[in-house]
Amino acid sequence: MKKYLILILSLLILLTAVSCEPAHSHEFGSEWTTDATQHWKVCSGKDCEEITAKAAHTYGEPTVTEPTTEAEGKRVYKCTVCGAEKTETIEKLPAHTCDFSKEWTSNDNYHWHICTGEDCTKVSDKAEHSFGESEITKYPTSDTEGERQSICSVCDKTKIEAIEKLPSKMSETEWILLFTYENVRIDSSADMDAFGSVETVMLVDGDIVLCDPDTDGQYYADRTVFSDIVFSNDYDSFNHIGNNVYTAASVMIEEEGMEVAELSDVILTITDGVISSISYNMNTFGISVQVAYTFSMWGEVIVEYEEPTLNEGEFAELIDPENFENVTLDVFRYDDEYTDVEYITYYYDGNNYLCEIVGEDDYITEEGSTDDGTVAALVNNADLFEMLNSLSAENFTYSLVEEMFAYGGTASFGGEEISDLFIGIENGVLSAVYFITAEGINVNYDFFDYGITVIESEVAE
């Protein structure tokens, strides 16, 4: 009996002890537990396997890595609740064959052909531009910049470069370039108080000038007709007053170191980088002239000129003695200072000479003489024709400056070497022979009145 009581008492004590322990409370942390399809949270209590918030993943928009012909792409999905990721593979793109455009693509430095395939970034034929010679498309002024363009010879890319504004004064180099006349028409007028007005047209190609082409125009070298409009020595006298107009109060014109004219109130206008007009008042040797030039047709081929030539046959015909039967000659000899001057006019009938200072009916022969020894020295056709017959036509070239044929070989007159030999030809006959002797004497023969019998007279026995 006693044993049963002890057993009952022990059970009561055990039940009392068990009923006195506190009750268990689940704790779910912030960490998610996941598998391929779901997520949930697990109780953090010891030996507690209780779970909560179990649900399927909720995926947002994927992050995509595009595939290429060499690598697979992928889509990565991320659960918006637990952050679990799911990756899907995107197959490689099929192999791509580039089809390059025939049109050029370019930037400032290069040109290339792009592939026309979608999303293909490959290019071909990439190279630097090949820009040709630039052309001025907008001339600068003192107020605005100009522009010059050049075009790539491969892709036609146009490069535009700025040209600086014009300064208030030009440099000497820029100034001289203004007076380089290459293919231009120059209309000029000169109003002289004492003599009235004169108008002239000149067509210029840089080396050759055709004056008054609509009338009986003659060709000249440019420096022989532009002496009064070339201001290159006085470029610093000009001030730029805007709109490409330059003015100078006074400009002196010199020839061979001597002042020959003074220009005042000079106005020079530049249009599109070239001279368009010049006007001024000129005082030369006491004569006042109002001068105006207008320039046009710049760059156009307006002078058609064929340089004269002289062949052996033509030259032989010129100096044929039969051509000199009945001709009048002027002979002029002088030194550079004009301190030793001799002049005579005489008539030559092919054999004999009639000299003005001898007398109307007094002939002399080549070997003859007169009381005046100068006449015999000047009248010396034998030496003249001997010299002419020794010349070769191939050594003659035409000089626009002198408007005569210049001889490039060696020549002698009366046994002495001469220099600066020129011959003139007019209407198919010899019109002039000029040269300088070894002593520096200038000798000029001028022939005129061919075929005209001056005096009918018997040569004195």
pLDDT in tens, 298-317: 877 776 667 788 999 999 98
* Count of CB atoms situated within 10 Å of the CB of 446: 16
In a domain, 13, yes or no: no
In a domain, 439, yes or no: yes
Alpha carbons 88 and 30: distance in angstroms, whole number: 28
SS3 track for the chain: CHHHHHHHHHHHHHHHHHHCCCCCCCCECCCCEECCCEEEEEECCCCCCCEEEEEECCECCCEEECCCCCCCEEEEEEECCCCCEEEEEECCCCCCCCCECCCCEECCCEEEEEECCCCCCCEEEEEECCECCCEEEECCCCCCCEEEEEEECCCCCEEEEEECCCCCCCCHHHHHHHCCCCCEEEEEEEEECCCEEEEEEEEECCCEEEECCCCCCEEEEHHHCCCCCCCHHHHHHCEECCCCEEEEEEEEEEECCEEEEEEEEEEEEEECCEEEEEEEEEEECCEEEEEEEEEECCCCCCCCCCCCCCCHHHHHHHCCHHHHCCEEEEEEEECCCCCCEEEEEEEECCCCEEECCCCCCCEECCCCCCCCHHHHHHCCHHHHHHHHHCCCHHHEEEECCCCEEEECCCEEECCEEEEEEEEEEECCEEEEEEEECCCCCEEEEEEECCCCCCCCCCCCC
The domain in which residue 132 lies consists of: 101-165
Alpha carbons 416 and 436: distance in angstroms, whole number: 11
Domain shared by 61 and 105, yes or no: no
Domain shared by 82 and 105, yes or no: no
The letter for the amino acid at 366 is E
- Residue 244's pLDDT band (boundaries 50, 70, 90)? confident
- Residue 379's pLDDT band (boundaries 50, 70, 90)? low
pLDDT for 14 beyond 60: no
Average pLDDT over residues 3-24: 59
pTM beyond 0.75: no
Contact 265, 205 (CB under 8 A): no
Whole-angstrom CA distances from 320 to 120, 174, 308, 324, 389 are 87, 52, 20, 8, 9
Beta strands 341-348 and 353-355: pairing type? antiparallel
Name the average pLDDT for the chain. 78
Contact 149, 160 (CB under 8 A): yes
Q: What is the CA radius of gyration of the chain?
A: 53
Phi, psi angles (nearest 5°) of residue 222: -60, -35
pLDDT for 145 beyond 60: yes
pLDDT value, residue 371? 45
pLDDT value, residue 175? 75
Domain shared by 244 and 126, yes or no: no
122-150 burial code (b ≥16 CB/10 A, e <16): ebeeeeebebeeeeeebbbbeeeebbbeb
Here the CATH number for the domain that contains residue 396 is 2.50.20
Domain shared by 147 and 176, yes or no: no
- Residue 105's pLDDT band (boundaries 50, 70, 90)? very high
Q: Is 306 exposed, middle or buried (0-12, 13-18, 19+ CB in 10 A)?
A: exposed
In this predicted structure, which of 313-317, 327-331, 429-433 has the lowest mean pLDDT?
327-331
The first and second tokens of residue 83, run together, are 């952050």
Contact 269, 240 (CB under 8 A): no
Domain shared by 292 and 177, yes or no: yes
Average pLDDT over residues 31-58: 88
Give how many domains the chain has, as a whole number.
4
In this predicted structure, which of 253-262, 307-316, 366-375 has the lowest mean pLDDT?
366-375
Domain shared by 177 and 160, yes or no: no
In a domain, 51, yes or no: yes
Domain shared by 121 and 70, yes or no: no
Average pLDDT over residues 135-154: 84
Last residue of a domain, which of 165, 181, 200?
Answer: 165
In a domain, 9, yes or no: no
Select the more confidently predicted residue: 216 or 422.
422
> Is the Cα dihedral 443, 449, 454, 456 positive or negative?
positive
Residue labelled with tokens 């970034």? 121
In a domain, 458, yes or no: no
Domain shared by 287 and 317, yes or no: no
In a domain, 331, yes or no: yes
Domain shared by 201 and 267, yes or no: yes
pLDDT value, residue 376? 43
pLDDT value, residue 378? 46
Contact 97, 106 (CB under 8 A): no
* Count of CB atoms situated within 10 Å of the CB of 354: 22
- Residue 224's pLDDT band (boundaries 50, 70, 90)? very low
Task: For residue 419, list its beta bridge partners.
Answer: 436
In a domain, 325, yes or no: yes
Last residue of a domain, which of 251, 271, 296?
Answer: 296
pLDDT value, residue 216? 54
Average pLDDT over residues 369-396: 70
Highest mean pLDDT of the ranges 164-178, 215-229, 271-285, 327-341: 271-285
Highest mean pLDDT of the ranges 100-114, 260-274, 392-406: 100-114
Q: Which residues contact 128 (CB under 8 A, 6 or more apart)?
A: 109, 110
Domain shared by 276 and 203, yes or no: yes
Alpha carbons 8 and 4: distance in angstroms, whole number: 6
Last residue of a domain, which of 268, 296, 324?
Answer: 296
- Residue 260's pLDDT band (boundaries 50, 70, 90)? low
Domain shared by 317 and 444, yes or no: yes
Domain shared by 270 and 231, yes or no: yes
Average pLDDT over residues 136-162: 87
In a domain, 1, yes or no: no
